[in-house]
Amino acid sequence: MTFIDSVIGFLNNLLWAYILIAVLVISGLFFSFKSKFVQFTNFTEMFRILGDKALLLADGKKGISSFQAFCISAASRVGTGNIAGVATAIAAGGPGAVFWMWMIAFLGGASSFIESTLAQIYKVKDKDGFRGGPAYYMEKGLKKRWMGITFAVIITFCFGLVFNSVQSNTISIAFHDSFGLSKMTIGLILASLTAIIIFGGVKRVAQVSSVIVPVMAAIYLILAIVVILMNITAIPTVLTLIIKNAFGMDQVVGGGIGAAIMMGIKRGLFSNEAGMGSAPNAAATATVSHPVKQGLIQTLGVFVDTILICSATAFIILLSDAYTNPDLTGIQLTQSALSEHIGSWATMFLAIAIFLFAFSSIIGNYYYGETNIEFIKNSPTAIFVYRVAVVLMVVFGAVAELTTVWNLADLTMGIMALINIVAIFMLSKIALAALKDYLAQRKQGKNPVFYVDSIPGLEGIESWEKKSSQNMKKAQ
């Protein structure tokens, strides 16, 4: 291990063990109580909104729908964290890590609602419709552009470059082990496909994501259901194993209770991104009648990612004997477990599945970087250079040993989350006021519509009209 590896590892453990876990849990509880547990009380409303069609933009063009914005964020959420990340958490933290992954998803749902609602309120107009995210509400809501620039730099580096290296690395390992293809060949193919999509702009990202994400998630969940049904009598035993291990009552593999908590929360955040500040960038693109609609949609994304897809991987692994093998971790552990259930062909199937999961993450991650570069400076040259860098990092990730990059990804992810949680805590009253307005309109049987003056004293708003202006248009 090099000196740089040691330093990054030390900082990473310091941040996660002593600071970030407490911040994530406390903020999740705070937002849950303040919103009256919006992530649970409005669960059916989330599905109702999912079918809303996109409103027309000012130029008459069709905007991005709630479902498409949901898919852009899901494209980033649903990736290696759901297959390789869950396996890594179990290998290092034991079965109990799964319990803490669930807990951070339940609490994080409220944080996701707050950040995504704020992203919609403070979104700005661009050539494709709208864009926004934490950098934008830091500047317009908190009047702290320096904070927004800091966040924009970190998320561009973390998601656009580092996380995309992790995704391509997982794809190359899976295909190399399953089909014997060289990692460089896989990297070049993956980079070519990435270039075709990202040079097409955000609408192409939305179109591709809205096709890939539902299909890949459905296939993977169906396979998991088959595995669960094949082992239905063992489910109570697995659930008991998870609970006991989560509280240190039964240490089967991995570390003690501390390792279970840290790995569960760390890999849970890597997977569902709740409170991290990434999903709001996608939430801001939607053309909806009320900001709360997209806040609820993104909260649903947390549950789909962790409670459904991550749990599917966890059950596939824990219903096998593979997790007791200390030599297996990451994608190899999941492949071994699935092969044990349905045969050796599962290794090839999972290689294809991880390609779809990780490739959708690459294009979703790319968009987060683009919208934050545009926040710093609207420069076509900077965007072009960034796109080239993304393609090169995809190739690099496919052939590199990424232990250091994984640690660096965790470190930058943690810094992102800290900055974002501070910002949404300071602006939470605005998101909660928007929720109150939304629920009041729903109670009256209306399709909620948001105006700048729906929240008294709201400033820095660019993309929402005043109610008085709308009334004047109707009068004319």
What number is the average pLDDT over the span 238-243? 87
Predicted TM-score of the model (pTM): 0.83
What number is the average pLDDT over the span 19-25? 80
Q: Which residue has the higher pLDDT, 57 or 21?
A: 21
pLDDT value at 255 more than 60: no
Is residue 90 within 8 A of residue 314, CB to CB? The reply is: yes
Confidence band of 152 (pLDDT split at 50, 70, 90): very high
Is residue 298 within 8 A of residue 277, CB to CB? The reply is: no
The DSSP string of 67-92 is HHHHHHHHHHHSSHIIIIIHHHHHHH
Residue 137 confidence (pLDDT): 94
For 352-383, give one letter per residue: b (16+ CB within 10 A) or e: ebbbbbbbbbbbbbbbbbbbbbbbeeeeeeeb
Residue 56 confidence (pLDDT): 47
pLDDT value at 468 more than 70: no
Q: Which residue has the higher pLDDT, 285 or 344?
A: 285
pLDDT value at 472 more than 50: no
Residue 438 confidence (pLDDT): 94
Residue 5 confidence (pLDDT): 67
pLDDT value at 108 more than 80: yes
The second-level CATH assignment, the architecture, of 3-444 is: Up-down Bundle (1.20)
For residue 120, what are the contacts with CB-CB under 8 A and spacing of at least 6? 132, 283, 284, 286, 288, 291, 292, 293, 294, 295
Window from 123-127, 130-134, 263-267 with minimum mean pLDDT: 263-267
What number is the average pLDDT over the span 391-410? 79
pLDDT value at 257 more than 70: no
Q: Which two tokens stand for residue 421?
A: 């949680």
Q: How is residue 131 annotated by DSSP?
A: E
Mean pLDDT is highest, among 69-73, 127-131, 135-139, 260-264, for 135-139
What number is the average pLDDT over the span 129-137? 89
For 403-431, give one letter per residue: b (16+ CB within 10 A) or e: eebbbbbbbbbbbbbbbbbebbbebbebb
What number is the average pLDDT over the span 213-223? 74
Strand partners, 64: 286
Q: Which residue has the higher pLDDT, 205 or 46?
A: 46
pLDDT value at 53 more than 70: no
In the predicted model, what is the mean pLDDT of the chain?
Answer: 80
Which single residue is written with the structure tokens 């890594």?
88
Give the closest residue to 268 by CA, choosing from 39, 56, 112: 112
Q: Which residue has the higher pLDDT, 425 or 272?
A: 425
SS3 9: helix
Confidence band of 213 (pLDDT split at 50, 70, 90): low
Residue 75 confidence (pLDDT): 60
pLDDT value at 15 more than 70: no
Confidence band of 36 (pLDDT split at 50, 70, 90): very high
Identity of the residue numbered 58: A
Give the closest residue to 96 by CA, choosing from 194, 241, 272, 211: 241
Residue 301 confidence (pLDDT): 83
Q: Where are the domains of the chain?
A: 3-444
Confidence band of 437 (pLDDT split at 50, 70, 90): very high
What does the H/E/C string look like for 413-463? HHHHHHHHHHHHHHHHHHHHHHHHHHHHHHHCCCCCCCCHHHCCCCCCCCC
Residue 211 confidence (pLDDT): 67
Confidence band of 267 (pLDDT split at 50, 70, 90): low
What number is the average pLDDT over the span 331-355? 78
Is residue 354 within 8 A of residue 177, CB to CB? The reply is: no
What number is the average pLDDT over the span 210-231? 77
What number is the average pLDDT over the span 430-442? 94
What number is the average pLDDT over the span 145-163? 90
Residue 266 confidence (pLDDT): 67
Window from 72-86, 115-129, 321-335 with minimum mean pLDDT: 72-86
Confidence band of 475 (pLDDT split at 50, 70, 90): very low
